[in-house]
Amino acid sequence: MMATFSTRCLGIALAMAFQVSASGVVAAQEPLSKGEILAQVRQASGNIQDLRVAFDVTLNRGSGPSMIPLHTTEFAIKGSRFLSMETLAGGERAVERWLAWDGEASTQFVHPEGKSPTAAVYPAYPRDLVLTNGDKAYHRSPMMHRMFFTFNLSCPAEPGQDGRGDESLESLLAGERAVVRPALENLDGHLCHVIDLVESEGAPPRMTVWLDHARGFVPLRQEYRTAEGALLIEYQATEVAQASQGHWFVIDGIKRSHPVVSIEDLPDVHEWRMQVVLDGESRVLRVNAGIEDSVFSLWQSLPPGTRVGDERTGTTYRVASGEPGKLVEEFLATRGVPAGSRETLTQGN
Protein backbone atom coordinates (compact mmCIF):
# COMPACT_ATOMS: atom_id res chain seq x y z
CA MET A 1 0.00 0.00 0.00
CA MET A 2 1.47 3.33 -1.05
CA ALA A 3 2.12 5.80 1.75
CA THR A 4 0.38 9.15 1.59
CA PHE A 5 2.20 12.39 2.23
CA SER A 6 0.88 12.69 5.77
CA THR A 7 1.73 14.99 8.64
CA ARG A 8 1.60 11.86 10.79
CA CYS A 9 4.75 10.70 9.00
CA LEU A 10 6.67 13.94 9.36
CA GLY A 11 9.67 12.64 11.29
CA ILE A 12 10.46 15.87 13.13
CA ALA A 13 10.58 15.70 16.90
CA LEU A 14 9.98 18.28 19.60
CA ALA A 15 13.16 19.81 21.05
CA MET A 16 14.60 17.78 23.91
CA ALA A 17 15.76 19.36 27.15
CA PHE A 18 19.51 19.76 27.61
CA GLN A 19 21.09 19.02 30.97
CA VAL A 20 23.11 22.18 31.58
CA SER A 21 25.36 23.04 34.50
CA ALA A 22 25.39 26.41 36.26
CA SER A 23 28.30 27.49 34.06
CA GLY A 24 26.29 26.79 30.91
CA VAL A 25 28.39 23.77 29.90
CA VAL A 26 26.42 20.84 28.50
CA ALA A 27 26.64 17.89 30.84
CA ALA A 28 27.85 14.57 29.48
CA GLN A 29 24.99 12.31 28.44
CA GLU A 30 24.70 8.79 27.17
CA PRO A 31 23.05 8.49 23.76
CA LEU A 32 19.45 7.41 23.73
CA SER A 33 18.55 4.01 22.36
CA LYS A 34 17.13 3.69 18.87
CA GLY A 35 13.73 2.84 20.30
CA GLU A 36 13.74 5.91 22.56
CA ILE A 37 14.57 8.22 19.66
CA LEU A 38 11.93 6.59 17.46
CA ALA A 39 9.26 6.98 20.16
CA GLN A 40 9.97 10.70 20.50
CA VAL A 41 10.03 11.18 16.73
CA ARG A 42 6.63 9.52 16.38
CA GLN A 43 5.18 11.46 19.29
CA ALA A 44 6.32 14.78 17.88
CA SER A 45 5.21 14.02 14.33
CA GLY A 46 1.77 13.26 15.72
CA ASN A 47 1.66 16.79 17.13
CA ILE A 48 1.90 18.33 13.65
CA GLN A 49 -1.65 18.98 12.47
CA ASP A 50 -0.70 21.04 9.43
CA LEU A 51 2.41 22.45 7.80
CA ARG A 52 3.14 24.97 5.06
CA VAL A 53 6.57 25.64 3.58
CA ALA A 54 8.05 27.25 0.47
CA PHE A 55 11.63 26.64 -0.66
CA ASP A 56 14.00 27.33 -3.55
CA VAL A 57 16.45 24.88 -5.08
CA THR A 58 19.50 25.98 -7.10
CA LEU A 59 22.19 23.91 -8.82
CA ASN A 60 25.94 24.47 -9.00
CA ARG A 61 27.36 22.37 -11.84
CA GLY A 62 30.98 23.22 -11.05
CA SER A 63 31.41 25.12 -14.32
CA GLY A 64 29.65 27.96 -16.11
CA PRO A 65 27.18 30.02 -14.06
CA SER A 66 27.86 29.54 -10.36
CA MET A 67 24.29 28.81 -9.30
CA ILE A 68 21.44 27.86 -11.64
CA PRO A 69 17.87 28.26 -10.36
CA LEU A 70 15.86 25.06 -10.74
CA HIS A 71 12.51 25.46 -9.03
CA THR A 72 10.51 27.04 -6.25
CA THR A 73 8.16 24.69 -4.45
CA GLU A 74 5.44 25.29 -1.89
CA PHE A 75 3.74 22.54 0.12
CA ALA A 76 0.60 22.71 2.22
CA ILE A 77 -0.08 19.55 4.26
CA LYS A 78 -2.92 18.66 6.60
CA GLY A 79 -3.34 15.07 7.67
CA SER A 80 -3.20 12.98 4.49
CA ARG A 81 -4.23 15.93 2.32
CA PHE A 82 -1.65 18.02 0.52
CA LEU A 83 -1.10 20.66 -2.13
CA SER A 84 2.25 21.09 -3.88
CA MET A 85 2.96 24.05 -6.12
CA GLU A 86 6.09 24.17 -8.24
CA THR A 87 7.51 26.85 -10.49
CA LEU A 88 10.22 25.27 -12.64
CA ALA A 89 12.81 27.63 -14.11
CA GLY A 90 13.94 27.34 -17.72
CA GLY A 91 13.15 30.43 -19.77
CA GLU A 92 10.83 29.41 -22.59
CA ARG A 93 10.59 25.96 -21.03
CA ALA A 94 9.46 27.30 -17.66
CA VAL A 95 6.40 25.60 -16.27
CA GLU A 96 4.11 25.73 -13.26
CA ARG A 97 2.98 22.38 -11.86
CA TRP A 98 0.39 21.90 -9.14
CA LEU A 99 -0.65 18.67 -7.48
CA ALA A 100 -3.35 18.24 -4.85
CA TRP A 101 -5.16 15.52 -2.92
CA ASP A 102 -8.21 16.39 -0.83
CA GLY A 103 -8.97 12.91 0.45
CA GLU A 104 -11.41 12.11 -2.36
CA ALA A 105 -9.93 13.43 -5.60
CA SER A 106 -6.53 14.28 -7.04
CA THR A 107 -5.88 17.26 -9.27
CA GLN A 108 -2.81 17.75 -11.47
CA PHE A 109 -2.40 21.19 -13.04
CA VAL A 110 0.30 22.07 -15.62
CA HIS A 111 0.92 25.48 -17.16
CA PRO A 112 3.90 25.71 -19.56
CA GLU A 113 5.25 29.16 -20.33
CA GLY A 114 3.26 30.79 -23.15
CA LYS A 115 0.67 28.01 -23.38
CA SER A 116 -2.79 27.42 -22.01
CA PRO A 117 -3.05 25.49 -18.73
CA THR A 118 -4.38 21.93 -18.51
CA ALA A 119 -5.58 19.84 -15.58
CA ALA A 120 -6.53 16.25 -14.82
CA VAL A 121 -8.89 15.18 -12.03
CA TYR A 122 -9.31 11.58 -10.88
CA PRO A 123 -10.78 9.81 -7.82
CA ALA A 124 -7.58 8.30 -6.41
CA TYR A 125 -4.39 9.25 -4.59
CA PRO A 126 -1.88 10.85 -7.02
CA ARG A 127 -0.27 8.30 -9.29
CA ASP A 128 3.43 7.58 -9.20
CA LEU A 129 5.50 9.16 -11.95
CA VAL A 130 7.37 6.74 -14.20
CA LEU A 131 10.80 7.96 -15.32
CA THR A 132 12.72 6.22 -18.09
CA ASN A 133 16.49 5.99 -18.50
CA GLY A 134 17.40 3.81 -21.44
CA ASP A 135 15.81 0.42 -20.89
CA LYS A 136 15.11 1.08 -17.21
CA ALA A 137 11.97 2.55 -15.69
CA TYR A 138 11.83 4.13 -12.27
CA HIS A 139 8.76 4.79 -10.17
CA ARG A 140 8.96 7.98 -8.13
CA SER A 141 6.59 9.70 -5.78
CA PRO A 142 4.41 12.39 -7.37
CA MET A 143 6.03 14.81 -4.91
CA MET A 144 9.40 14.60 -6.63
CA HIS A 145 10.66 18.05 -5.75
CA ARG A 146 10.45 17.60 -1.98
CA MET A 147 14.02 18.50 -1.04
CA PHE A 148 12.98 20.32 2.13
CA PHE A 149 11.55 17.04 3.45
CA THR A 150 14.61 15.11 2.26
CA PHE A 151 16.94 17.37 4.26
CA ASN A 152 14.73 16.83 7.30
CA LEU A 153 14.22 13.09 6.65
CA SER A 154 10.51 13.75 7.07
CA CYS A 155 9.11 12.09 3.97
CA PRO A 156 6.37 9.46 4.47
CA ALA A 157 7.52 6.14 5.90
CA GLU A 158 6.86 3.44 3.31
CA PRO A 159 6.50 -0.30 4.01
CA GLY A 160 9.68 -2.30 3.57
CA GLN A 161 11.96 0.76 3.35
CA ASP A 162 15.01 1.47 5.51
CA GLY A 163 15.21 5.25 5.27
CA ARG A 164 17.13 5.47 2.02
CA GLY A 165 14.44 4.95 -0.57
CA ASP A 166 11.67 6.77 1.28
CA GLU A 167 13.92 9.41 2.92
CA SER A 168 12.21 8.84 6.24
CA LEU A 169 13.81 9.05 9.68
CA GLU A 170 11.00 6.90 11.02
CA SER A 171 11.81 4.09 8.56
CA LEU A 172 15.52 4.31 9.39
CA LEU A 173 14.98 4.07 13.14
CA ALA A 174 12.38 1.30 12.83
CA GLY A 175 14.67 -0.90 10.75
CA GLU A 176 16.74 -3.72 12.21
CA ARG A 177 19.92 -2.67 10.40
CA ALA A 178 20.13 0.82 11.91
CA VAL A 179 22.67 1.10 14.74
CA VAL A 180 23.18 3.96 17.21
CA ARG A 181 26.85 4.71 17.82
CA PRO A 182 27.85 4.26 21.50
CA ALA A 183 28.71 7.93 22.11
CA LEU A 184 27.35 11.32 21.14
CA GLU A 185 29.53 13.13 18.59
CA ASN A 186 30.26 16.83 18.23
CA LEU A 187 29.36 18.21 14.81
CA ASP A 188 30.08 21.91 14.36
CA GLY A 189 29.55 22.52 18.06
CA HIS A 190 26.37 20.44 18.39
CA LEU A 191 26.14 17.08 20.17
CA CYS A 192 24.59 14.49 17.90
CA HIS A 193 23.25 10.97 17.99
CA VAL A 194 24.87 9.15 15.06
CA ILE A 195 22.88 6.43 13.29
CA ASP A 196 24.54 4.01 10.85
CA LEU A 197 22.65 1.80 8.43
CA VAL A 198 24.78 -1.35 8.09
CA GLU A 199 23.84 -4.16 5.69
CA SER A 200 26.15 -6.78 7.20
CA GLU A 201 28.65 -7.08 10.06
CA GLY A 202 31.96 -5.46 9.20
CA ALA A 203 30.64 -3.74 6.08
CA PRO A 204 30.84 0.05 5.74
CA PRO A 205 27.59 1.88 6.52
CA ARG A 206 25.39 2.59 3.51
CA MET A 207 23.80 5.57 5.29
CA THR A 208 24.88 7.68 8.26
CA VAL A 209 22.84 10.42 9.91
CA TRP A 210 23.84 12.94 12.59
CA LEU A 211 20.79 13.92 14.68
CA ASP A 212 21.03 17.05 16.83
CA HIS A 213 20.56 15.96 20.45
CA ALA A 214 19.32 19.34 21.69
CA ARG A 215 17.26 20.50 18.72
CA GLY A 216 14.59 17.88 18.19
CA PHE A 217 16.73 15.29 16.33
CA VAL A 218 16.98 17.56 13.28
CA PRO A 219 19.42 15.90 10.81
CA LEU A 220 22.52 18.09 10.62
CA ARG A 221 24.30 15.77 8.19
CA GLN A 222 23.50 12.73 6.06
CA GLU A 223 25.92 10.53 4.12
CA TYR A 224 25.05 7.84 1.59
CA ARG A 225 27.73 5.40 0.42
CA THR A 226 28.23 2.58 -2.04
CA ALA A 227 28.64 -1.01 -0.87
CA GLU A 228 32.41 -0.44 -1.10
CA GLY A 229 32.22 2.60 1.17
CA ALA A 230 32.70 5.37 -1.43
CA LEU A 231 30.82 8.57 -0.63
CA LEU A 232 27.91 8.93 -3.03
CA ILE A 233 25.62 11.70 -1.70
CA GLU A 234 25.84 14.02 1.29
CA TYR A 235 23.44 16.51 2.86
CA GLN A 236 24.82 19.24 5.11
CA ALA A 237 22.58 21.59 7.08
CA THR A 238 23.91 25.15 7.07
CA GLU A 239 21.04 26.67 9.05
CA VAL A 240 18.27 25.23 11.21
CA ALA A 241 15.36 27.06 12.79
CA GLN A 242 12.68 26.40 15.35
CA ALA A 243 9.16 26.68 14.01
CA SER A 244 6.14 27.12 16.23
CA GLN A 245 5.51 24.73 19.08
CA GLY A 246 9.12 23.65 19.40
CA HIS A 247 9.69 21.93 16.06
CA TRP A 248 13.13 22.24 14.45
CA PHE A 249 13.84 22.13 10.71
CA VAL A 250 16.74 22.45 8.30
CA ILE A 251 15.93 25.66 6.42
CA ASP A 252 19.19 26.05 4.46
CA GLY A 253 21.43 23.24 3.30
CA ILE A 254 23.75 21.84 0.67
CA LYS A 255 23.38 18.52 -1.15
CA ARG A 256 26.42 17.13 -2.98
CA SER A 257 26.64 14.14 -5.31
CA HIS A 258 30.05 12.59 -5.91
CA PRO A 259 31.17 10.79 -9.08
CA VAL A 260 31.74 7.08 -8.59
CA VAL A 261 32.10 4.21 -11.02
CA SER A 262 28.44 3.25 -10.75
CA ILE A 263 27.24 6.65 -12.03
CA GLU A 264 27.64 7.54 -15.69
CA ASP A 265 27.81 10.99 -17.27
CA LEU A 266 28.62 12.73 -13.99
CA PRO A 267 31.99 14.39 -14.69
CA ASP A 268 32.28 16.38 -11.45
CA VAL A 269 30.62 16.95 -8.13
CA HIS A 270 27.14 18.43 -8.44
CA GLU A 271 25.93 20.69 -5.68
CA TRP A 272 22.37 21.75 -4.88
CA ARG A 273 21.25 24.33 -2.36
CA MET A 274 17.87 24.25 -0.65
CA GLN A 275 16.64 27.42 1.06
CA VAL A 276 13.31 28.06 2.72
CA VAL A 277 11.92 31.20 1.06
CA LEU A 278 12.05 34.54 2.86
CA ASP A 279 8.86 36.60 3.00
CA GLY A 280 10.08 39.95 4.23
CA GLU A 281 12.10 39.11 7.33
CA SER A 282 10.47 35.75 8.10
CA ARG A 283 10.71 32.34 6.48
CA VAL A 284 7.72 30.76 4.75
CA LEU A 285 7.47 27.91 7.25
CA ARG A 286 4.35 27.48 9.35
CA VAL A 287 3.41 24.63 11.69
CA ASN A 288 -0.12 24.23 13.07
CA ALA A 289 -1.11 27.69 11.83
CA GLY A 290 -4.35 26.33 10.36
CA ILE A 291 -5.14 25.55 6.71
CA GLU A 292 -8.66 25.58 5.29
CA ASP A 293 -9.80 22.23 3.87
CA SER A 294 -10.88 23.94 0.64
CA VAL A 295 -7.23 24.66 -0.19
CA PHE A 296 -6.75 21.00 -1.14
CA SER A 297 -9.75 20.81 -3.50
CA LEU A 298 -7.81 22.36 -6.35
CA TRP A 299 -10.33 21.05 -8.92
CA GLN A 300 -12.89 23.49 -7.52
CA SER A 301 -10.77 26.61 -8.06
CA LEU A 302 -8.87 26.18 -11.34
CA PRO A 303 -8.16 29.44 -13.17
CA PRO A 304 -10.17 30.53 -16.21
CA GLY A 305 -9.05 29.01 -19.49
CA THR A 306 -7.89 25.70 -18.00
CA ARG A 307 -8.72 22.62 -20.10
CA VAL A 308 -9.79 19.90 -17.66
CA GLY A 309 -10.09 16.15 -18.10
CA ASP A 310 -12.21 14.69 -15.31
CA GLU A 311 -12.06 10.91 -14.98
CA ARG A 312 -14.80 10.97 -12.38
CA THR A 313 -17.38 12.07 -14.94
CA GLY A 314 -15.65 11.08 -18.19
CA THR A 315 -15.82 14.67 -19.42
CA THR A 316 -13.40 17.19 -20.79
CA TYR A 317 -14.23 20.87 -20.42
CA ARG A 318 -12.68 24.31 -20.28
CA VAL A 319 -13.12 26.52 -17.23
CA ALA A 320 -14.89 29.80 -18.08
CA SER A 321 -12.71 31.54 -20.64
CA GLY A 322 -10.11 33.99 -19.47
CA GLU A 323 -6.64 35.18 -20.29
CA PRO A 324 -4.10 32.38 -20.77
CA GLY A 325 -0.73 32.86 -19.16
CA LYS A 326 -1.88 33.38 -15.59
CA LEU A 327 0.93 33.83 -13.09
CA VAL A 328 1.15 31.99 -9.79
CA GLU A 329 -0.09 35.04 -7.88
CA GLU A 330 -3.17 35.27 -10.10
CA PHE A 331 -3.78 31.56 -9.69
CA LEU A 332 -3.75 31.91 -5.93
CA ALA A 333 -6.16 34.84 -6.21
CA THR A 334 -8.72 32.60 -7.94
CA ARG A 335 -8.92 30.25 -4.95
CA GLY A 336 -12.40 30.16 -3.52
CA VAL A 337 -14.03 31.60 -6.63
CA PRO A 338 -16.99 29.44 -7.80
CA ALA A 339 -16.23 27.33 -10.86
CA GLY A 340 -18.79 29.29 -12.87
CA SER A 341 -19.74 28.34 -16.42
CA ARG A 342 -17.92 25.58 -18.26
CA GLU A 343 -17.45 25.11 -21.95
CA THR A 344 -17.92 21.38 -22.55
CA LEU A 345 -15.42 19.96 -25.02
CA THR A 346 -16.19 16.23 -24.97
CA GLN A 347 -18.70 14.06 -23.18
CA GLY A 348 -17.81 10.57 -22.02
CA ASN A 349 -20.17 7.59 -22.02
Q: Which residue has the higher pLDDT, 123 or 209?
A: 209
In a domain, 335, yes or no: no
Q: Dump pLDDT digits (tens) for 278-310.
A: 887 778 999 999 999 999 999 998 988 899 999
In a domain, 40, yes or no: yes
In a domain, 224, yes or no: yes
Residue 70 has pLDDT above 50, yes or no: yes
**Length of the chain, in residues:** 349
Handedness of CA 143, 334, 290, 74 (dihedral sign): positive
Which phi and psi angles does 84 have, rounded to 5°? -115, 135
3-class DSSP assignment, residue 167: coil
User: Structural domain of residue 184, as residue ranges?
Assistant: 7-287
Percent of all residues in the chain with a pLDDT value above 90, rounded to a whole number: 49
Q: How confident is the model at residue 348 (pLDDT cuts 50, 70, 90)?
A: very low
pLDDT at 30: 86
Residue 51 has pLDDT above 80, yes or no: yes
In a domain, 292, yes or no: no
In a domain, 308, yes or no: no
Q: How confident is the model at residue 28 (pLDDT cuts 50, 70, 90)?
A: low
Average pLDDT over residues 69-82: 88
In a domain, 345, yes or no: no
Residue 128 has pLDDT above 80, yes or no: no
Residue 13 has pLDDT above 80, yes or no: no
Judged by average pLDDT, the poorest of 152-156, 202-206, 262-266 is: 262-266
CATH number of the structural domain spanning residue 157: 2.50.20
Count of the separate structural domains present in the chain: 1
Which phi and psi angles does 291 have, rounded to 5°? -135, 130
In a domain, 46, yes or no: yes
Q: Which residues of 62-82 are buried (b: 16+ CB within 10 A; e: fewer)?
A: eeeeeeeebbbbbbbbbbbbb
pLDDT at 125: 82
Which phi and psi angles does 146 have, rounded to 5°? -125, 40
Q: How confident is the model at residue 87 (pLDDT cuts 50, 70, 90)?
A: confident
Distance, in Å, from the CA atom of 116 to the CA atom of 113, rounded to the nearest integer, reads 8
Judged by average pLDDT, the poorest of 84-98, 236-250, 256-270 is: 256-270
40 burial type by CB count under 10 A (0-12 exposed, 13-18 middle, 19+ buried): middle
In a domain, 134, yes or no: yes
